[in-house]
Amino acid sequence: MLKTFGMFLIGPGLFLVYFPYRIIMKAGKELGPHNALSYPAIFFWLSGAYLIFGSIRSFIFEGKGTPAPWDAPKELVKHRVYKMNRNPMYTGVLMFMLGTYVWSQVFSLLLYLLAFWLLFHLGVLLYEEPTLKKKFGQPYLYYLKSTNRWLPKLK
């Protein structure tokens, strides 16, 4: 649990708060809302935080591990937020970043978000999915078929 908390402070603390703050300051913008269109950011922040914390909870309690690769879950995590899509933690991070873009309206933050999505997507395709196929076998293959990678499956 302590490892997960430390990882959470370092990763999201830097990439969701510090670096976006620096980008906003470099653009010469104020931190406050810029107009009424800024307020939907709150929805993205809350939704993103829900997915991030829900993912961490699922990794700890369902997966018997953490999000950290050195203490990865021992069980396949496929319930709760993982029923929505296969990558709710990454989706949560991207939603949080989208909220920061909507709030600040600094175009560089949209590019920042797109760069992260590309890194996440490549990491999922080249490392995570092949690793999980080897580790969990048939149950993971079924999960791949029943759950979309990024967007929720419409039923």
Residue 7 maps to a domain: yes
Q: Reduce the DSSP state of residue 95 to 3 states and report it.
A: helix
Residue 118 maps to a domain: yes
- As a whole number of angstroms, the distance between CA 131 and CA 76 comes to 12
Q: What is the DSSP letter of 33?
A: -
> How many helices (H) and strands (E) in the chain?
7, 0
Residue 155 maps to a domain: no
For the four alpha carbons of 139, 143, 60 and 80, in that order, the dihedral sign comes to: negative
| Domain span holding position 20 | 2-146
Residue 140 maps to a domain: yes
Please check the confidence at residue 10 and state whether its pLDDT lies above 80: no
Q: Are 99 and 44 in contact (CB under 8 A)?
A: yes
CA Rg, the chain, in Å?
17
Query: What is the average per-residue pLDDT within 22-35?
Result: 87
Residue 154 maps to a domain: no
Q: Are 90 and 113 in contact (CB under 8 A)?
A: no
pLDDT of residue 142: 96
pLDDT of residue 104: 93
Q: Domain total for the chain?
A: 1
Residue 40 maps to a domain: yes
By mean pLDDT, which of 71-75, 87-91, 102-106, 109-113 is the weakest? Answer: 71-75
Residue 153 maps to a domain: no
Query: Which one, of 106, 110, 91, lies nearest residue 44 by Cα?
Result: 91
- As a whole number of angstroms, the distance between CA 54 and CA 59 comes to 9
**Which own/partner pairs from 107-110 qualify as long-range (CB within 8 Å, at least 24 positions apart)?**
108/23, 108/26, 108/27, 109/20, 109/23, 109/24
Residue 58 maps to a domain: yes
Please check the confidence at residue 8 and state whether its pLDDT lies above 70: no
Residue 127: CB atoms within 10 A of its CB come to 11
Question: 111-138 pLDDT, tens per residue?
Answer: 999 999 999 999 999 999 999 999 999 9
Residue 4 pLDDT level (bands cut at 50, 70, 90):
low
Q: What is the DSSP letter of 154?
A: P
Please give the model's pTM, rounded to 2 decimal places. Answer: 0.90
